[in-house]
Homo-oligomer: A and B are copies of this chain.
């Protein structure tokens, strides 16, 4: 597929790796549909409004990357099911983050349907960042550290918004 397009640099960061699949247009919309229980080609098609060839391409790519699993139904061999794998399910936080952000800054109201706790039927909390001990933490309390500096107290590096030269890669 992307022969000429230079591959995103994957040497030292997981983000380009994730974007190689999920950075494609429609990937997240298909993922959302899958999370909402859709499984069949025509369902994805009508739910997203994506073009047929693009949908076929994306489903193949998501399957190739192990995010969806393709299975032919044996009771009706015309039908194919695309189901989320564990790897795909682990993208739920990322999808929800984006969705919550869109709600907050674009939509202004909660999306529908709502993801709730099946114990009390209350919506999940906004997704946020937590320290290693589980305590919620905000951007101002965070720091970028080089890998081999981690845990060394007194390591001098940059706070958020201030970085010296650096190897951002």
A1 contacts B by Cβ under 8 Å: no
How many Å from the CB of A68 to the closest CB on chain B? 13
Chain B residues within an 8 Å CB radius of A25? 19, 23
Identify which of B47, B124, B168 contacts A137 (C-beta below 8 A). B124
A52 contacts B by Cβ under 8 Å: no
- Contact A28/B23 with A121-B153, A131-B122, A141-B117 known, Cβ cut-off 8 Å: yes
Interface, chain A (partner B; CB < 8 A): 6, 8-10, 12-20, 22-23, 25, 28-29, 32-33, 35-38, 47, 49, 66, 83-84, 87, 89-107, 110-132, 134, 137, 139, 141-147, 149-155, 157-164, 166-169
